[in-house]
Amino acid sequence: MPAYAVIGGQWGDEGKGKVVDYLAESVQAVVRFGGGNNAGHTVVNSRGRFQLHLVPSGICWPEMDNIIGNGVVVDPDGLLAELADLSSRGIDTNRVLVSERAHVIMPYHVLLDSLEEKARGSEALGTTGRGIGPAYVDKASRGGIRVGDLLELEDLMPRLEQTLAFKNELMTKVYGGEPISLDDVLAKCRDWAEQLAPHVGPAEQTVQDLLARDNNILLEGAQGTLLDIDHGSYPYVTSSSPTIGGAITGLGLNPQSIAGVVGVYKAYCTRVGEGPMPSEIQGQVADELREKAQEYGTTTGRPRRIGWFDAVAGKYSRLVNGFTGMVLTRLDILDGSPSVKICVGYRADGRDLDRFPVNTSLLDRCQPIYEEFAGWDQPTAGATSLSQLPQNAINYVKRVEELVGCKVQIISTGPAREETILVEPVIH
Ligand code: IMP
């Protein structure tokens, strides 16, 4: 049986955690393939409310394999804290497996993230400060340390010593920061190795074996397409590939094994951090939506920027991922709005644009062209079937579907697992 991917269609925070928890009922494994603990996936079900950063969102299902693939950058302290918290709440974490090829976020990565952001001044990216960018930089420059290396500390020593000496030069001489002691880093590595060892293994082989034994698996995207290092609003992006290509390299997956790629979109838009967002809105409407939806970052607590649904960006995401279907989340947040808008085009420098521009300054100058729809008073919150939706909400969903260019398979009407409308099956 095949793999199905759940990918963010916007700037992250689309509600992928809830969707993965819901769909995981029909799979044997949930696998993260990219990003790190910059992600914040919220899962609400009969076992409680969980905020996950690295642990895949299938963790609440019994006997589920939850795998962290080679494309993920792992902060061991973050992962261990998350595992301990889940265990203390009665969740079995024994089947969490971390790829030995995944790169480690080292203490100097976290420090460099904040030093670099400070040095960027007014050009700061608004990173989550979790060391994600610097860890991926080291991966690409071949100076990274992998989870498997932690288990072979003696072999790692010379490389670690050299790397740390270089990072200390960089942190102190270029950025004016404080150095980190080798002894402290070594002590951490020893502790991580001991605690993580039972969870470390050949994740790509495990994924292949699961597929060969006819199991369905779910690929859990983190962040979103518009934050993708290649396809997003560069340079205001994360340092990984949250798009479907990242799932292949981030797991060592055979592309033929992917049977469906579901794009998750919020019924409006949010963005956290800097960078252009053509359909951003300010003022009372934005404030009300933010408060109603509690649009504050799960990882950093920062208020999220709010905008109307951006169908230009949405269509672009569909194209670069080849979405076979979409999930529309948080429809209930629009309940009671007198009217709702969809951005159907951009206008900049006196002309209309028919695609998502590559140039960030141009994207920044884009003015949204809106279609406006009558809102709905009858709530969609908690609805579990299409027949419970008011006609205006259905009209809205249909228009989103038409503009993005793929079928809405699931509508989410609340944070809990059961507050879901399954329009058509995603996993076969
Ligand atoms: P980084 O991933 O911490 O380097 O941050 C780069 C950009 O991606 C910043 O604008 C972050 O706010 C954004 N970002 C990273 N992870 C997430 C996420 O899970 N949801 C939403 N935005 C994110």
Provide mean pLDDT across the span 145-162: 97
In angstroms, the CA 275 to CA 290 distance is 19
With a 6 Å cutoff on the Cβ, whether 37 touches ligand 1 is: no
Residue-wise burial string across 27-44, b where 16 or more C-beta atoms lie within 10 A, e elsewhere: bbbbbbbbbbbbbbbbbb
**Domain 265-422 class, CATH top level:** alpha beta
With a 6 Å cutoff on the Cβ, whether 125 touches ligand 1 is: yes
Q: Which atom of ligand 1 is nearest to the CA of 128?
A: 3
Query: pLDDT, tens digit, for every residue of 315-331?
Result: 999 999 999 999 999 99
- What is the Å distance from ligand 1's center to 179 Cα? 26
In CATH terms, the fold of domain 103-196 is Adenylosuccinate Synthetase, subunit A; domain 2 (1.10.300)
In angstroms, the CA 398 to CA 404 distance is 10
Q: Which of 20, 115, 272 to mutate to test the pocket of ligand 1 (most atoms within 8 A of CB)?
A: 272
Provide mean pLDDT across the span 278-305: 94
Catalytic site residue 103?
no
Q: Which atom of ligand 1 is nearest to the CA of 272?
A: 12
Q: How far, in whole angstroms, is CA 298 from its chain's centroid?
A: 11
With a 6 Å cutoff on the Cβ, whether 227 touches ligand 1 is: yes
Residue 239 pLDDT > 70: yes
Residues of the chain with pLDDT > 70, as a percent, come to 100
Confidence grade of residue 1 (pLDDT, cut at 50, 70, 90): low
With a 6 Å cutoff on the Cβ, whether 238 touches ligand 1 is: yes
Q: Give the CATH architecture of domain 3-99+199-261.
A: 3-Layer(aba) Sandwich (3.40)
- Residue of minimum CA distance from atom 21 in ligand 1: 12
Confidence grade of residue 354 (pLDDT, cut at 50, 70, 90): confident
Catalytic site residue 230?
no
- Residue of minimum CA distance from atom 9 in ligand 1: 127
In angstroms, the CA 87 to CA 47 distance is 12
Q: Which atom of ligand 1 is nearest to the CA of 13?
A: 20
Instruction: Sketch the domain layout of the chain as residue ranges.
Output: 3-99+199-261, 103-196, 265-422
Catalytic annotation, pick one of 21, 41, 103, 113: 41
* Residues 6+ positions from 408 with CB-CB distance below 8 Å: 325, 326, 327, 328, 397, 400, 401, 423
